[in-house]
Structure 1
Amino acid sequence: MIDLTLLGCGGGMPTPNRYLSSLLINYKGRKILIDCGEGTQVSMKIANTGFKAIDIICITHIHGDHIIGLPGLLGTIGNSGRTEPVIIIGPHGIKEAVEGLMTIAKYLPYEVRVIESPKEDLNFIDEDIKISTLELDHSSPCIGYSFYFSRSPKFDVEKALENNVPKYLWNKLQKSNEEIIENGITYSRSLVMGEDRKGIKLSFITDTRPIETISKFIDNSDLLVSEGTYGDDLDEKKAIKNKHMTFREAATLAKSASVKTMVLTHFGTAMAEPKDFLDNATEVFENTIIGEDRMTFELKFED
C-alpha cells in the first residue's frame, strides 16, 4: 500500500488558507517528497508526517513556489538525526540551485546527492520504485514525474515442485534474485515464482501547457496529480501566456491517457474556491477530485 499526503494545493505564493503545491509519498516506511515551496515544512508538521525518512526530493522546476522551502527542510531533516544520504532530482539547473541554497543549509550530518535532468529511469528502495521524468512546457526548465511501484510475483508451490527445487531453498530463492548452486545444479528465482503482478502508477504534472507527450507519459496512471492553475474556461488565454493549464485542459489529458483518478492542485491565488469550477473538469473527465491541503489517499495493489 502507498500512502499519499497532498501537503499543499497553491501556486505562486502561500496564502493563509492554502500552502504551496507539494506531495508526500510514503512507501514501506520511506518517503519521497515532490516539490518544496515556502511553508512545506509547516504543512508537514501539521500533518505529522515526520522528516527523518525522506530519502528522495523531486523538484519539478526552479521557481520559488516549488523550491524555496528546500534549505530549511534539509536542515530539519538533519536535526531529526538522519545520517543516510538524501537524493534530490530536478531539471536542468538543479545542481546550481541546490548549491546556492546550501549556503544557508551548511554542515548537514548526511550527504546530499543531486541528479540533474535524468535521461533514464531511476530505481530506488530495493528497485521496487521506478521514477521516470518528462520535459514539460513551462517558462523555465520543468519536468513531470511518474512513479511505478512494482509488485513481486507470488510464490508458486506447484512450479517449485515441477522444477524439482529442494524445499530448503524455497525461502532463499523467494527473497533473492541471486542464483543458488547445489550439487552442481543451478536454481534461480524464476523456478519458484509465478507471473508478474500489476503494480501501481502515480503521475505528477505541474507546471506546463498540455503538450502531446504528456498523454503517453501518464498513460494508465492509477492516480494523476495535475496542476489546475485556472479553473475558468475564460482564463485559457492567461493559461497559454503563463504556460499553465485550465481544469478542462487537465481533464482532457486525463481522459486521453485513460487514468483512473485525477486530483487537481496548484490553484492560482485569484481562485478562492476551486470547487466552483469543478464542472469544467468533470464534463470531460468525471473522476476528478479538487485537491485540498493535507488531503490523504491510499493506493492499494490489486488482488
Structure 2
Amino acid sequence: MLDICLLGTCGMMPLPNRWLSCALVRNGSSLVLFDCGEGTQVPWKTLGWGFRQLGAICLSHMHADHVAGLPGVLFMVAHAGRTEPLAIYGPAGTAYVIEGLRRIAPDLPFPIHIHELKGGETFTLPGGLEATCTQANHGIPCLAYRVDLARRPEFQADKARALGLPVQLWKRLQHGETLEYDGKVFTPEQVLGEPRRGLSLAYITDTRPTPALSKLASDVDLLICESMYDTRDDLPMAHANGHMISEESAGIAKAAQAHALVLTHFSPKITDPSQAEKAARRIFPNTRAARDGLVVTLDFS
C-alpha cells in the first residue's frame, strides 16, 4: 500500500491558504519527499506522519519554490532523532545548491548522500520502491519521476505440499529465497503463481508536455502533474515559462493511459482549482484538482 499526501499545491510562492507544491509518499514506515519548497515542514507537521523516517528526497529542479524549504525540513528530521543517512536525488546542479543551503543547516546528526541524475536512470528508494526519472522541459535541468512498488506473486500452498516441503520453510520461499532440503534445491518459482500487477505513480512538474513524459507515466495508478495555468488563454505564458495548462496535463495522462490524474502546482492567480479540474476532465475524466493535505491511497485491491 502507498499513501501519497499533497502537502502543498501552489506554484511560485506560498499563499496564506496554500503551501508550495510538494508530495510526501509513505510505504509502511518509510517516507520519500518529492520537492521541498518554502515552509514544507508546516503542512507536514499538521499531517502527523512524523519526520524521522524520511529516507529520501527527490527534487525536480533547483528553483526556489521547489528547494528553499530544505533547511527547515532537515532540522525537523534531525530533531526527530534520525541518524541514518538521507539520500537526495536531483538533476545536474543539485549538489551545488544543497551545499549552499547546508551553510544554514551545518550540524546534522545524519549524513546526506547527494545523487545527481541525468534522466533515464533507475534507483532504489526506501521501502523497496523502484524509481526512474526522465528529463523534463523547463529550460533548466529538470526531472520527472516514476515510482513502482512490486507485488509478490501469490504463494501456492498446494504446490509446496506436493513438493513435500515442511511448512516452516514456506516463508523463505515466499520471500524469494532459494533453499536446499532433503538433498534437493527448491526455488521460489516452484511454489509461486504468476506475476501480479504492483503499484505505481508518476510525479511531473514544471515542464512543457513531451512524449517522454507520457512514456514515463505509462499505465501508472496515479499521475501527479502540474497545472500552472487553467485556460487556453494562458497557453502563450505556459510556453514562455516552461509550464502547462490543465488540458495539456490531461493530455499526458490520456496518452500514458494512466488510471488517475491529480493536478497540482497551481499559479497563485488561480483561486479556484476546480476550473482546472473541469477543463482537464474534458480530456481525461478521472481527474482531481488537489487541495493542500489531500491524501490518496493506492492498494493492491
**Deviation sequence 1:62-102 (CA, Å, 0-9, x none):** 00000000012111101110111111110111111111111
Structure 2 unmatched ranges of 5 or more: none
In 1, are the aligned partners of 2:39 and 2:72 still within 8 Å (CA)? no
Q: 1:167 and 1:12, CA in 2 relative to 1: closer, same or farther beyond 3 A?
A: same
Amino acid aligned to 2:2: I
Structure 2 counterpart of 1:232, which letter? T
Q: Secondary structure at the match of 2:32?
A: strand
Q: Residue 96 of structure 2 aligns to a residue in which SS?
A: helix
- Worse-superposed segment, 206-215 or 40-49: 40-49
Mapping of residues 119-268 of structure 1, within 5 Å: 119-125=120-126, 128-175=128-175, 177-268=176-267
Counterpart contact for 1:165–1:187, Cα < 8 Å: no
**How far apart are the structure 1 equivalents of 2:134 and 2:257?**
18
8 Å contact 2:31–2:126 — kept in the other structure?
no
Q: Distance in 2 between matches of 1:17 and 1:166?
A: 59
Amino acid at match of 1:48: G
What's the CA shift for 1:183?
Answer: 4.0
Amino acid at match of 1:59: L
Deviation at 1:49, TM superposition (A): 2.3
CA contact (8 A) 2:56 2:126 kept: no
Structure 1 residues 125 and 185, CA gap change in structure 2 (3 angstroms)? farther
Identity %: 38
Query: How far off is 1:35 after superposition?
Result: 0.3
Give the Cα separation in 2 of the matches to 1:163 and 1:183.
11
1:294 paired residue number: 293
Q: How many pairs align?
A: 300
- For the residues of structure 1 that align with 2:170 and 2:133, how far apart are their CA atoms? 37
TM-score for the superposition, normalised by structure 2:
0.96
The equivalent residue for 1:281 is 280
- Give the structure 1 partner of residue 86 of structure 2: 86
In 2, Cα distance between equivalents of 1:124 and 1:231: 33
How much is the aligned-residue C-alpha RMSD, in angstroms? 1.4
* Structure 1 residues 140-171: Cα deviation after superposition (integer angstroms, max 9, x where no partner): 11000101111111211122234443444212
- CA-CA distance at 1:16 after TM superposition: 0.5
Q: CA deviation at 1:297?
A: 1.1
- Tell me, yes or no, if the aligned pair for 1:233 and 1:280 is still in contact at 8 Å: no
Q: CA deviation at 1:11?
A: 0.4
Give the drift of 1:125. Answer: 3.8
Query: Are 1:262 and 1:288, in contact at CA under 8 Å, matched by a contact in 2?
Result: yes
Distance 1:178 1:278 in 2: 47
Amino acid at match of 2:275: D
Whether contact under 8 Å (2:131, 2:147) holds in the other structure is: yes
Is the 8 Å Cα contact of residues 8 and 43 (structure 1) preserved in structure 2?
A: yes
SS of equivalent to 2:233: helix
**What is the DSSP-based 3-state SS (H/G/I as helix, E as strand, rest coil) of the residue aligned with 2:24?**
strand
CA distance, structure 1, for counterparts of residue 292 and residue 196 of structure 2:
33
Mapped to 1, the partners of 2:230 and 2:220 lie a distance apart of 23
Aligned mates of 1:81, 1:166 — CA distance in 2: 43
Per-residue CA deviation, residues 13-56 of structure 1 (Å, 9 max, x unaligned), is: 10111100000111111111100000111111122221111111
Does the CA contact (< 8 Å) of 1:59 and 1:67 recur in 2?
Answer: yes
Cα displacement (A) at 1:194: 1.7
- Provide, for residues 105-144 of structure 1, a one-character-per-residue CA deviation record: whole Å limited to 9, x for no partner: 1121111111111553112346x31111010000211000
- Letter of the 1:206 partner, please give it: T
| Contact 1:201-1:221 within 8 A present in 2 as well | yes
TM-score (norm 1): 0.95
The answer for unaligned runs of 5 or more in structure 1 is none
| 2:17 equivalent in structure 1 | 17
